[in-house]
Chains A and B, each alone.
Chain A
Amino acid sequence: MAFKIIVCAKQVPDTNEIKIDPIKKTLIREGVPSILNHDDANALEEALKIKDQYPDTHITVITMGPPQAKDLLIECMAMGADDGILLSDRALGGSDTWATSNAIAAAIGKLGGFDLIFAGRQAIDGDTAQVGPQIAEKLGIPQVTYVADFSIDSDMKHITVHRALEDGYEIIKIETPCMLTAIKELNTPRHMSIGGIFDAVKKDMPVWGAKDLGVDTDREVGLEASPTNVYRSFTPAPKGKGIVIEGDTDKELADRLLINLKKKHVI
């Protein structure tokens, strides 16, 4: 029996490349490349490391997104994943984290059994860190988030992880099946291999819609079913020209700087 790992991944715009149009105050998305979300790459890498050690491991990557998200699955397979499934359907569009986790949990259910699910802690476009735990909740399995170190016993059942905290870490024991969310401290993701690319492009990739998943498009997935909605959105006030801090004494200068930094919530 192969050890079955599911990796949840997301294609995201490279936020480092996103800029604000200084006049129209809108996001410039043109020419911004889509990339495999960073934490998700760590999630996949950890799965691949298990497969390096135990070749009888099967890795399926699941992603939800527009049809172009197939490219993400190609990338994951070119890194070494066995197969990929794309959840793509107009009816899934606009899902918030609750609805997204419904769709992905349904897809995982449809795949049948699994031993382990790896997801990235959060995606750089939304930074919510909610989908991983919410999938786990819907599947009724335990979770550890912020995983910074991972090891599994040779019984392929008992897992020990380090869960990063702000001021240290916890060592936690957990058993399969479970959900682990990865942070970048966990590992350094490998590259695609050239040979992997030529295999991956040829592979069949199932695309599942709401019907295939058997989810209710009024109550479980999509914009309408999502409990949260966007009320307004806007670009932050533009970074103004710098301020020269004035003051009569050095203490005054220091105090005024700190007040400004505090006001900006950066300290």
Chain B
Amino acid sequence: MDFQLTKEQEFVRKMVRKFAETEVEPIAADCDKEHRFPEETVKKMGEYGLLGVPFPKDVEGAGGDHISYAITVEELSRCCASTGVICSAHTSLCAWPIYAWGNEEQIKKYVPDLCSGRKLGAFGLTEPNAGTDAGGQQTRAEDMGDHWLLNGAKVFITNGGYADTFVVMAMTDKKKGTRGGISSFIVEKGFEGFSIGKTEDKMGICASSTTELIFQNCKVPKENILGNPGEGFKVAMSTLDGGRIGIASQALGIAQGAFDVTVEYMKSRKQFGKRLADMQALQFEMAEMKTRIDAARLLIYRAADMKDKHLKYGPASAMAKLYAAETAMYVTTKAVQFHGGYGYIKDYPVERMMRDAKITEIYEGTSEVQKMVIAADVFKK
């Protein structure tokens, strides 16, 4: 057991922190306010390898591991949670399933473009009537002999408005139901019959693009099925196991960012003739926050390490996400409180961080779903 980061991981943190502080943080508040997707930052993230961290160099990845990937999302989210989730959804939910489930041609065709950031990725599972109960897919894919025909709609798709490559789930055999009836497909922007629906107006992560995907007799080439027909649910669930590491890292980054800002504020803000930092009641609260942040970090790095070692990491990543998301809410709520009135206005970033934190308890499996996963592991057999 080794709790020290490797040299590579330390450097990844150093690099991404500096990148985030110089390229991301200065525009974070404006992007949030204007609900503007930070295209220019995403382009730079591609150039610097931030969009392909855990993939080997032969597919133009950075040749890194999943702890490095977790650090990347964490450090981006420390400055801007929207930028963090752009990276996470792209990497965990699009590049990863194609790399893990794709055949040689598919990997060659799609993964290098994604890792290098020439293309941005997204993932379509959730539907208006299939959220936590993801098995209830109503999007259908019909085998037309030389192609697949997709009909239906997806909602709440992260990166929807700016992605080029989508991994999409659809029912191919209703009789077989969730297991065996769902298949996954690689859909490209511009495929006939595929369009982007409305862009959601959200409470937080306002700089990320969350949209509907609409399939009206959308023609998908035969070879774009990902995995075998009927394996879609397995593709989706294995993808989400990894995605949770990304979202947990996003939550961790939000918590750390709010914590760091609060420490600085407490050192300068004086009331009753002394600094907030010198008040024991507040010090104890900060100690509690710090402890939770560190606990979340250890859970996440453990899950990422297990993934690198090809161990079964589903319950571990569920615990990481559950705990990190709750920590993000806990810390950001306190951070706003400690800033007092200044915390509630947009001069300080903590109100944005508090709004951003809430989503981490909801997407890629609500906290309740994480508990289902963890409990299922507790009571198996």
Contact = CB atoms under 8 A, between A and B. Distances in A.
A192 B64 contact: no
Nearest to B57: A195
Contacts of B22: 191
B7 A194 contact: no
Interface string B10-39: 011011101100100000000000000000
B62 A194 contact: yes
The interface residues of chain A, by DSSP majority, are classed as helix
A196 interface: yes
Given A193-B15, A197-B8, A198-B62, 17 more contacts: A74-B11, A75-B14, A191-B15, A192-B11, A192-B48, A194-B16, A194-B49, A194-B50, A195-B52, A195-B63, A195-B64, A197-B15, A197-B62, A197-B64, A198-B64, A199-B63, A201-B11
Contacts of B57: 195
Interface in A53-83: 74-75, 78
B72 interface: yes
27 contacts: A74-B7, A74-B11, A75-B11, A78-B11, A192-B14, A192-B15, A192-B48, A193-B62, A194-B12, A194-B48, A194-B49, A194-B52, A194-B53, A194-B68, A195-B49, A195-B62, A195-B64, A197-B12, A197-B62, A197-B64, A198-B8, A198-B62, A198-B64, A199-B63, A200-B11, A201-B8, A201-B11
Interface in A185-217: 191-201
Interface residues of A, number: 14
Nearest to A78: B11
Interface of B: 7-8, 11-12, 14-16, 18-19, 22, 47-50, 52-53, 57, 61-64, 68, 72
B48 A197 contact: no
Contact of A78 (B15, B16, B64): B15
A191 B44 CA distance: 10
Contacts, number: 55
A22 to B, nearest CB: 14
Nearest to B51: A194
A197 B53 CA distance: 11
- A78, A191, A196, A199: which has the most chain B beta carbons within 10 Å? A191
Interface of A: 74-75, 78, 191-201
Nearest to B45: A194
B18 A191 contact: yes
Contacts of B11: 74-75, 78, 192, 197, 200-201
Contacts of B52: 194-195
Shortest beta-carbon contacts, A-B, top 3: A194-B49, A194-B62, A195-B62
- A192, A194, A197: which has the most chain B beta carbons within 10 Å? A194
B156 to A, nearest CB: 29
A198 B63 contact: yes
Nearest to B18: A191
A196 B49 contact: yes
